[in-house]
Structure 1
Amino acid sequence: MLFSEIVGQKDIKRQLIQTVAEQRISHARLFLGPEGSGSLALALAYAQYISCENRSPDDSCGECSSCRKYNRLIHPDLHFSYPFFAKHKDDTALTFIEEWREAFLKNPYLNLDEWRLQLDADNKQANINIAECHQIIRKLSMKPFEAEYKVLIMWLPEYLDKEGNTLLKIIEEPPQKTLFLLVAQNQDQILNTILSRTQLLKINRLKDEEVKQHLIETIHVPALQASRISYLSEGNIQLAIQLSREESDHAFGRFTEWLRNSFGNKGLQLIEFSESASKWGRENQKNFLRYGSKLLREVMMVLSGAENLIHLPENEKEFVVKFSRSVDLNKTEALISEIEKAHYHIERNANPKILFLDVSLQFTRILKFNTLPKGTHYIYQ
């Protein structure tokens, strides 16, 4: 993985390269960033840059023996640890290394849901177990085979339970030329004993424009659709890639028609919409609801006097401005609340036909009959 292959994060790349140039390589570094920000890809690119036999001031060469092995994730001094779904108590990350290589090489921005789909997870909980901790200690106790450094990249250390304390000594006093690169999304869920022994590197979400350009140049998504997807994904390149595979360009028309039919109390059309939405598939339903929630948040921006901060395609911006004249903050908050509750229940396999019809009725109560649920906290001026 070359730095040049990673979307955005120019400042982070520069900072990492500088630590190598100045020989300030920390033995334990925590890459902390939201899902889809490229944290895992950055950790691998950093490890490859350190091990590269002919690196330039800006990137790995990509051609030396070390880089070729890194590109296939088979370098003998590169080790991975990650959450998995153990079927036996002796299972470790090494048990699933072929699946891991396939998943990462296919998409270096993968999330836990995509990783779960790669495995036969059933209903098992993901974790990094005690057997894996012992395996890490054994692997890192050996001398490097080829490179100057041995590297362990641990993805999602949040899934280390108290067994993670087994690693404290080797993290704090590692064998010579050993690097721990932890890649996390939620700092609060990491064991404090591990957190205190790492050097923190915070990685921000990607900019919408960076996501948009990646979709246009790499996946060849049309510009208008790329603009809509980048807005919806909120800097999450993994979500943007997922949305690019779906019919996300229909979301605007579907959602605005849903609101209009709810406002007009058109029962037959709402029933037909619910039947149609029930056939989209769970991920498409979740993405549709996510899109609607974001669009209504832009309505709240207009109602709050921040219209100049809206960055939407012209047709969506026009709708947001017009719709804001028909609602207030109370109604908009109530609509968003219903959408978010629906998203929660879709994730938990609620019956989509019943769910979408129920939300349609709630929309009608709010928009047509001005009936707001309890807990709406904005006050009429």
Structure 2
Amino acid sequence: MAYQALYRVWRPQQFVDVVGQKHVTKTLQNALLQQKISHAYLFSGPRGTGKTSAAKILAKAVNCEKAPVDEPCNQCSSCIGISDGSISDVIEIDAASNNGVEEIRDIRDKVKYAPSAVSYKVYIIDEVHMLSIGAFNALLKTLEEPPKHVIFVLATTEPHKLPLTIISRCQRFDFKRITSHDIVERMKHIADESNIQYEEKALHVVARAAEGGMRDALSLLDQAISFSDEKVRVDDALTVTGSVAQSYLNQLGNAIFHKDIAKALKALEELINQGKDPSRFVEDLILYYRDMLLYKTAPKLEESLERVLLDEEFTVLAEQISPTDIYSYIDVLNTVQQEIKFTNHAKVYLEVSIIKLCQSENAPVSNGASVPEVQELIEKIKVLENELVSLKKQGGVTATEPSTPTKKKATNRSQKGFKVPVGRIKEVLKNATRQELNAIKGRWGDLLEQLNQRNMRSQAALLNDAEPVAASSSAFVLKFKYEIHCQMAMEHPSFMEAISTILNNLLRVQYEVVGVPEAQWSNIRQDFLQYQQDDGEKKDSNQPDPLVSEAIKLVGSDLLEIKD
């Protein structure tokens, strides 16, 4: 018999085998025992969490010859036939390749026929969000009131793409990501039953790389078994998953803490030469410092650690680094992780970020000052504070003297505000057209969506209360509700450039963005309109319309009515 992948051999055959979805399996088991089966179910959740497997188990349980039962027996002819696919009354449909109206109409026409071999005809529609709008509409009535012998089970990884009319006709169950602990326990069971030799640490590496998917975990374990000789070791799991060994992370962490740039770059070079993916490396380093922060602040929560194993080198380094330093490290790494997504020079960004981490100066202790020196400075500050209090009591210093210049300075700074480019706004208004403004407003929602996709959510939030109010062929005026939001946006060149780039991609026009607060926009617009009106009246008074003059000559002013 040909070799089968582990995830196919060990596919759950009972609800008890579905890992990490107790809230779903318990509800379904109770409904089976109480014979309160719904006509339609919606299983949603990430990939590899057991949606399709649970649907097949449900199909076997309702058709089991021993029903009502909370678990299929897997021994009767019905259970065996559904498991091997020989019973045609349980139909699995891939909506990704059968997403047209004709396929759904075919289902609608065949639904009315009674099942031939079992009690219920079960339709399992996988990736149902791929159906077209016409297909959803064709399914609506059948899904709401199918015959008594029919059950629909819809499975999807993207429930937000389903019409609300479909969701409202189903009982919805949300499958969640499986925890690393549950994945490891399941892999241990499979490895023990399959007589596979393994190191437990290797299973933890595989579980973390699977990101909550049991199928992904078993596929990676399958690869690690094929890669290893006799026993699945940690190095084998690291190679297969592309993860970084903790020894390298400890080495790099020590180099960053001691500000040894040469050693840190050398460790990075070794990892790159081994073929490690830069984005995966940054993720591993972020999780490494995340676990270090948890270990320092809550050492009893060892089960919450995702990446590290508590070896001696890690614990010693964790005691030396302050939480302030760790916050700074994570901020720098999070920034470089976003930048790597949009560049072809990931190695350069990594090297720059490592140098930046080595040169960062945060807390006094990490800047080279020892703990006794810090304590000595604190004592001196206390002595000076006591002397200041005594001077105040003697009347030598008044409390208002030092605060007066500071207050004045703060007032002057607050009065500065945002300088509105009035001349540029009036230039836009002179050449503004309704067509240009409508074109920008029509794609404004797409612009906000693309900004969020570029991980610029914090900057895009500034546009929540902003709207385009005038546009010419080369620029448009963007009105902000609050002056502070306008100032923050206009002083962010990369954000303005991103808006121009996205609009250029959407409308094929390179626009310049001119910001203005709402409070000042009405005054600028009113001044511009008044100027235009005065200018027009001046032209009218100096140069009467020649057509009007000629008409007066022909028929006379008494018979002529002039309208503007």
**Is TM (by shorter chain) over 0.5?**
yes
Taking a change above 3 Å as real, the CA distance of residues 9 and 355 of structure 1, as seen in their structure-2 partners, is same
Q: 1:236-264, CA deviations, whole angstroms, 9 ceiling, x for partnerless residues?
A: 22332244335434532344445555652
**Which position in structure 2 is the counterpart of 1:6?**
18
Is the Cα contact below 8 Å between 1:261 and 1:269 reproduced in 2? no
- Alignment partner of 1:248 out of 226, 237, 248: 237
Is the Cα contact below 8 Å between 2:286 and 2:330 reproduced in 1? no
Q: Which runs of 5+ in 2 are unaligned?
A: 1-12, 225-235, 239-243, 363-455, 460-564
- Alignment partner of 1:229 out of 189, 206, 231: 206
Q: In the alignment, is residue 321 of structure 1 matched against residue 318 of structure 2?
A: yes
Taking a change above 3 Å as real, the CA distance of residues 260 and 360 of structure 1, as seen in their structure-2 partners, is farther
Q: In the alignment, is residue 28 of structure 1 matched against residue 40 of structure 2?
A: yes
- Specify the code of the residue in structure 2 equivalent to 1:144: P
**Which position in structure 2 is the counterpart of 1:264?**
260
Residue 308 of structure 1 and its aligned partner are, at CA, apart by 3.5
Q: In the alignment, is residue 168 of structure 1 matched against residue 145 of structure 2?
A: no
**Structure 1: how far apart are the matches of 2:360 and 2:103?**
58
Please show how residues 122-161 of structure 1 align to structure 2 within 5 Å: 128-161=99-132
Q: Secondary structure at the match of 1:308?
A: coil
Please show how residues 3-152 of structure 1 align to structure 2 within 5 Å: 3-54=15-66, 57-84=69-96, 92-93=97-98, 128-152=99-123
Q: In the alignment, is residue 338 of structure 1 matched against residue 310 of structure 2?
A: no
Q: 1:180-225, CA deviations, whole angstroms, 9 ceiling, x for partnerless residues?
A: 1112333322221111111122333333322111111213442222
Q: Secondary structure at the match of 2:91?
A: strand
Q: Secondary structure at the match of 1:200?
A: strand
Residue 319 of structure 1 and its aligned partner are, at CA, apart by 7.1
Q: Let me know the Cα RMSD of the aligned residues.
A: 3.4
Please show how residues 169-318 of structure 1 align to structure 2 within 5 Å: 169-219=141-191, 220=196, 221-244=198-221, 245-246=223-224, 247-249=236-238, 251-260=245-254, 264-266=260-262, 269=266, 272-273=269-270, 275-277=272-274, 279-280=275-276, 288-302=281-295, 305-311=297-303, 312=305, 313-315=309-311, 318=315
Q: 1:312-364, CA deviations, whole angstroms, 9 ceiling, x for partnerless residues?
A: 4322963783475372313212213423554x46xxxx75xx42342232232
Q: Secondary structure at the match of 2:19?
A: coil
Taking a change above 3 Å as real, the CA distance of residues 276 and 69 of structure 1, as seen in their structure-2 partners, is farther
**Structure 2: how far apart are the matches of 1:171 and 1:59?**
26
Taking a change above 3 Å as real, the CA distance of residues 74 and 308 of structure 1, as seen in their structure-2 partners, is same
Is the Cα contact below 8 Å between 2:129 and 2:162 reproduced in 1? yes
**Structure 2: how far apart are the matches of 1:206 and 1:248?**
19
Taking a change above 3 Å as real, the CA distance of residues 30 and 334 of structure 1, as seen in their structure-2 partners, is same
Is the Cα contact below 8 Å between 2:63 and 2:120 reproduced in 1? yes
Moved more, 315-324 or 214-223: 315-324
Q: Secondary structure at the match of 1:68?
A: helix
Q: In the alignment, is residue 362 of structure 1 matched against residue 374 of structure 2?
A: no
**Structure 2: how far apart are the matches of 1:360 and 1:83?**
45
**Structure 2: how far apart are the matches of 1:161 and 1:275?**
44
**Structure 2: how far apart are the matches of 1:323 and 1:194?**
56
Moved more, 70-79 or 307-316: 307-316
Q: Secondary structure at the match of 2:116?
A: coil
**Structure 1: how far apart are the matches of 2:189 and 2:158?**
31
Taking a change above 3 Å as real, the CA distance of residues 289 and 369 of structure 1, as seen in their structure-2 partners, is closer
- Specify the code of the residue in structure 2 equivalent to 1:264: D
Residue 147 of structure 1 and its aligned partner are, at CA, apart by 1.3
**Structure 2: how far apart are the matches of 1:60 and 1:214?**
21
**Structure 2: how far apart are the matches of 1:265 and 1:72?**
60
Q: Which runs of 5+ in 1 are unaligned?
A: 85-91, 94-127
**Structure 1: how far apart are the matches of 2:79 and 2:52?**
17
**Structure 1: how far apart are the matches of 2:317 and 2:186?**
27
Q: Secondary structure at the match of 2:261?
A: coil
Comparing both chains, which one has the higher relative contact order based on Cα–Cα distances under 8 Å and sequence gaps of 6 or more?
Answer: 1
**Structure 1: how far apart are the matches of 2:101 and 2:361?**
56
Residue 155 of structure 1 and its aligned partner are, at CA, apart by 2.0
Q: Secondary structure at the match of 2:207?
A: helix
**Structure 2: how far apart are the matches of 1:239 and 1:336?**
25
Q: Secondary structure at the match of 2:42?
A: strand
Residue 365 of structure 1 and its aligned partner are, at CA, apart by 1.4
Is the Cα contact below 8 Å between 1:37 and 1:205 reproduced in 2? yes
Q: Secondary structure at the match of 1:12?
A: helix
Is the Cα contact below 8 Å between 2:32 and 2:69 reproduced in 1? no
Q: Secondary structure at the match of 2:300?
A: helix
Residue 170 of structure 1 and its aligned partner are, at CA, apart by 1.0
- Give the number of aligned pairs: 322
Q: Secondary structure at the match of 1:26?
A: coil
**Structure 2: how far apart are the matches of 1:298 and 1:309?**
10
Q: Secondary structure at the match of 1:29?
A: strand
Q: 1:12-32, CA deviations, whole angstroms, 9 ceiling, x for partnerless residues?
A: 323212212211100011123
- Specify the code of the residue in structure 2 equivalent to 1:46: L
**Which position in structure 2 is the counterpart of 1:107?**
none
**Structure 2: how far apart are the matches of 1:323 and 1:70?**
60
Give the TM-score of the pair, scaled to structure 1.
0.71
- Specify the code of the residue in structure 2 equivalent to 1:227: H
Taking a change above 3 Å as real, the CA distance of residues 148 and 306 of structure 1, as seen in their structure-2 partners, is same
Q: Secondary structure at the match of 1:314?
A: coil
Larger Rg: 2
Is the Cα contact below 8 Å between 2:187 and 2:218 reproduced in 1? yes
- Specify the code of the residue in structure 1 equivalent to 2:354: F
**Structure 2: how far apart are the matches of 1:370 and 1:160?**
55
Taking a change above 3 Å as real, the CA distance of residues 222 and 169 of structure 1, as seen in their structure-2 partners, is same
**Structure 2: how far apart are the matches of 1:52 and 1:370?**
67
**Structure 2: how far apart are the matches of 1:209 and 1:18?**
26
What fraction of aligned residue pairs are identical, expressed as a percent?
21
